Amino acid sequence: MKLVKKTRKSPQWNRRVFGRLLVLIIAAIFVVFAGRFIYIAATGQIAGVDLTKRSHKKYEEDTVVRAQRGTIYDSLGNVLAQDTNAYSVYAVLSHDYVGTNKKPLYVTNKKKVAKILSQYLPLSEAKIYKQMTPTNQAVYQVEFGSAGQNLSLSIKRKIEAQKLTGIYFKESPTRLYPNGTFASHVIGLAQTSKSATADGSQDLVGVMGIEKYFNQQLTGEDGYKNLMQDSYGYALSQKQNKVKAAKNGQDVYLTIDSRLQSYLESLLTTVNKKYKPVSMNAVLMNAKTGEILAASQRPTFNASTKKGIGDIWRDTLVEDGYEPGSVLKIATLSAAIDSGNYNPNEYYKSGSVQVGDKKISDWQTSGWGTIPLSQAFARSSNVGMVKLEQEMGSDVWKSYLTKFGFMKKTGIELPGEVSGSLQYTRPLDQATTSFGQGINVNVMQMLQMTSAIANNGTMIQPQILAGVGKRKTIEPIKVGQPIKASTAKEVLQNMEDVVYQDYGTGQVYQIPNYKVAVKTGTAQITAPTGGYLTGANNYIFSVGGIAPADDPKYILYITMKQPQQMTDSAETILSQIFNPMMQRALEYTKKAEKDKQQQVKLPSVLTKATKTAQSELTEAGLKTALVGSGNLVVQQVPSAGSIILPNQRVLLMTNGAMTMPDVTGWSKNDLLKLSQLTGIQVEIKGSGYAYQQSLATNGLLDGVKKVKVQLK
């Protein structure tokens, strides 16, 4: 047999070379992987990622614990603004959204979903089905517009109870203003911020009024939960968990009295509809303490629905400066008397007076002939005031304007307060300030000035804050003594003359059984082109009053700009607000003083049996009404600790479904409590007491958005 010599080209040789090469490659790969594993084990990192932290993160869950924004209360403990949650519903359509074992988490039965959702949303079944059947098949999820937003918790729970596959909810904080149009610019608004937080949610931020001024105090501090869990999602040792509790915002208490505020809103609305002024302001203040008991403006808006918010964003009570007109004559007369430059028996010629190259006229241009200075104030004579300014001298008069706090903010706890301004370079400027022209003020400055007359010369600061965190006893904040007590008494008598002398301009402001002191005002409005507007209605009409004059308790100040339908005199129009408002306040005080010894501090009946709670409150001399048919009390309004009068109604919400109480005989204030407790809008029509309700007694309130109640 002939042996064949192996060559480099022979198959055997090639196989041997390839085999050795393969072994070398495998060995090299093994060395690389081994080196990689050794590196990872030594450093604990891969591609710059810390594997220990990454693994730790896999088995932990971070949750933000949302803080609650503080609640705003009135002086009676009624809620004016509080946090609540709103929900938006959406449907996932993408078949990529599946769970374990490929279980569908998307909408699988669109017709069923549309049928059920139509029972809870203001959309038809067909419309919902159409929205869930978009032409673009790549749509991942759909929402349902405004109809699917701002859903209550009860509606959310009802939809969830249907166990609809593919239907989910987004939660967002919102602010509840149960009273609607109610000191809206004063209380203000809190809205969701434009920028989202780390967890994708949005915080509430105050953008107006008290909500803005005390935003930092009202805003809480979010907490967090960092929980360790195993690969199945079960919690591990508590020692490894990190928990920081949320710190809720502080509550804010105001001096506003809801009963007086509601009445003021009603009066302003009536006058506003009838005479259609461009704007109005009205503030009722406690003359002794400076507490703002009621304050509002027109135009205004409904804080609950936001209707009308586009008409005006400013709080005109503090943010607008204006020429006050003749109500400022209170300061002029005060300065003249206090500085020793007033002789009531001195006569002067009324009608007009020449100052430089300008003639200044009385509102009755022909004047009243030669009259004593004692009549100048009651007649609201501009000429008489100019005479007083000239006898004082410009420096003395200006010093009193400063003493009365003009050109300086009062410091009331509302954002955007203006300081005002003074035009005082020429003798003409100095003369016109004596009757309220050439000087810009804000509403609170006028109240502050008038307080010196009501408090024997001591001037007090207007206050709207009754406490942050807890309610405090309001003490007057004295901001000066611009005039002597004797001066204040003489000016007060002159203000009475405005009402009770036959030559007074404010006779229409008489209130039966009470002595009233007022000053009327008519201020010209600066024209855009210079000078002043002309025409019977192109003025800012005003009245500032004190009552009772013999023992001042209240100061009421009202302004009205350019009524478009001026079918009555300015005094007649303003008296339709001033007289009933002041009378209501005075009667309220008389009743409060009578019932002072009978006041009740409301106990807490939360978690108590319903019958026990009712029995305790009845024994305390209070009425009760149930919202629900459960056996335990879960909420109460007014809140525990509130100081209330006997025979007031306390609303108790029980566990279980919310049900509609019989509201026959309820006052408007009781109905507002119902809205506050349930979060449901109560639409009130008429005045007096409730006699008709749109939802029957014991009807389910869950899912109801509005209940209508007729008063008579």
Pair type for strands 223-228 and 204-208: unpaired
d(CA 59, CA 357) in angstroms, rounded, equals 88
Nearest CA to 191 out of 312, 73, 309 is that of 309
d(CA 391, CA 153) in angstroms, rounded, equals 70
The amino acid at 416: G
- The answer to whether 553 and 283 have CB atoms below 8 angstroms apart is no
Give the helix ranges, DSSP H, for 308-374.
Answer: 316-319, 329-338
C-alpha distances out from residue 160 to 108, 124, 128, 290, 644, Å: 16, 19, 17, 51, 41
Maximum Cα–Cα distance across the chain: 162
> Concatenated DSSP letters for 311-330?
T--S-HHHH--B--GGGGHH
Helix axes 258-275, 668-678, angle to 10 degrees: 110
d(CA 238, CA 228) in angstroms, rounded, equals 8
d(CA 453, CA 487) in angstroms, rounded, equals 8
Give SS3 for 620.
coil
Phi, psi dihedral angles at 659 (to 5 degrees): -125, 155
Q: Which two tokens mark 339?
A: 């500085």
d(CA 650, CA 606) in angstroms, rounded, equals 12
Catalytic residue among 152, 184, 326, 339: 326
- Cα 703 off chain centre by: 26
> Does residue 326 have an active-site annotation?
yes
Nearest CA to 586 out of 636, 673, 515 is that of 515
Give SS3 for 619.
helix
d(CA 345, CA 336) in angstroms, rounded, equals 14
- Residues forming beta bridges with residue 683, ordered by sequence position: 708
* Sequence-ordered list of residues with C-beta below 8 angstroms from that of 205, at least 6 positions apart, any chain: 190, 191, 192, 193, 215, 219
By the 10 Å C-beta count (0-12 exposed, 13-18 middle, 19+ buried), 323 is classed as buried
d(CA 712, CA 262) in angstroms, rounded, equals 17
d(CA 279, CA 443) in angstroms, rounded, equals 13
**Within 10 A of 549 (CB to CB), how many other CB atoms are there?**
19
Helix axes 394-403, 329-338, angle to 10 degrees: 110
Give SS3 for 26.
helix
Q: Containing H/E element for 111?
A: helix 110-117
d(CA 321, CA 440) in angstroms, rounded, equals 5
For the annotated catalytic residues, the residue numbers are: 326
